[in-house]
Amino acid sequence: MEHSMREFIRHPTDIPIEISTDTAAGAAREQLQNISNGGLQISSSTPWPSDAIIELRIPSVTPAFQTRGKVVWCRAGEQGYDIGVAFLESGTQLQLSMIEQICHIEQHKQKVSKSGRDN
């Protein structure tokens, strides 16, 4: 069966994400740009090498979402670097669906807060 759309639909977001490696002393705080069932795109202040295995953590949700990924591409972006990461662990899709919903709720709360209609 042929697909006329992308294999994975991307969901935009602006949620902070932490990236680290087994050898890194600490986690880099970056910005999650979009999420799909296959992986995610991150805006980073530093370049990451292709094929690097990284630990990903979204601390703004409870419990914090954590998984491992592989850097599949890294390109110079408008402000730093855009990084494509593929998920390594199976079962991430269900967790990711929950994270997507939480991210959408957080974005809505931020919009409402900015418009002065805080609940």
> What tens-digit pLDDT sequence spans the chain (119 residues)?
333 334 444 545 677 888 888 766 677 888 888 777 678 889 999 899 999 999 988 887 778 788 889 999 999 988 899 999 998 876 666 666 666 666 666 676 777 777 765 45
CATH number of the domain where residue 76 is located: 2.40.10.220
For residues 43 and 77, is the Cβ–Cβ distance under 8 A? Answer: yes
Residue 84, sorted as left (phi over 0), alpha (psi -120 to 50) or beta, turns out to be beta
Answer whether residue 96 is part of any domain: yes
Domain that residue 109 falls in: 11-113
Answer whether residue 1 is part of any domain: no
Taking the whole predicted model, whether its pTM rises above 0.85 is answered as no
Answer whether residue 6 is part of any domain: no
Q: How many domains does the chain have?
A: 1
Answer whether residue 78 is part of any domain: yes
Residue carrying the six token digits 């914090």: 64
For residues 41 and 8, is the Cβ–Cβ distance under 8 A? Answer: no
Answer whether residue 64 is part of any domain: yes
Answer whether residue 4 is part of any domain: no
What span, in angstroms and rounded, lies between the C-alpha atoms of 55 and 5? 29
What's the token pair of residue 15? 């949620």
